[in-house]
Amino acid sequence: MTNVDYSSPSAQFAFDVNSSPLFIKDSNNIINVLGVKQLNTLGNSSLLDIFLSASNVVEPHYHQNASELVYCISGAATVSMLNPFTKQFLNFAITPGQVANVPQGWWHYEIAAVDNTHLLAIFDAPTPEVVLGSDILKFTPANVMAHTYCMDENQWKQVVAPVEPSTYIGPTNTCSREDQPEQQASEPYQQYPYAQPYQQRYWGY
């Protein structure tokens, strides 16, 4: 619950989310943010306004202090998450009016199936925290990863060299892979061919 004085001239009751970008990949792939720092009368909630073109991914990540309800406004996307109790990946294809719920702390990502996909991610925290997969890969010492998984350290460094910290929306604009996502679609994703399978961050609040 916010401690704002609702009688104060500084109390904010409206806000234009379009004016608060969290991440911009290009004109079609944007994440806007609304939290208590943007709207000081906001209670225990916040949101991300997400715009994606086909095959773009909100990178794998988790929120250690909030659950996430993903609502599809337009287009189509697959919300995928790792159930830590069953060790199974769950994949939910959503279209306008449909939702997928990601419990607090679960590893997850979203992939747009078509252009002009618009998602609303709603959180039960005024300032959700996020740990991004790209940051884990980039900032965990290479010698620790190599030792833990019995790998050659130089090979590990070579594999993660292209990873950009805080990717948020992938693949990056510099991606030059020749293979297309639809060629790699596995069975759970057949409905939408593009849906294929440390540093704590706060979303600009």
Q: What is the set of domains in the chain, with CATH numbers?
A: 17-130+173-202 (2.60.120.10)
Residues 35-86 have pLDDT tens digits of 999 999 999 999 999 999 999 999 999 999 999 999 999 999 999 999 999 9
pLDDT band (50, 70, 90) for residue 186 = very low
Q: Are 125 and 97 in contact (CB under 8 A)?
A: no
- Whole-number Å distance between alpha carbons of 45 and 39: 11
Residue 193 pLDDT exceeds 60: no
- Whole-number Å distance between alpha carbons of 31 and 46: 13
pTM for the whole thing?
A: 0.85
- Whole-number Å distance between alpha carbons of 187 and 112: 17
- Span 80-93, mean pLDDT? 97
Residues 101-132 have pLDDT tens digits of 999 999 999 999 999 999 999 999 998 899 99
Backbone angles phi, psi at 134, to 5 degrees: -65, -35
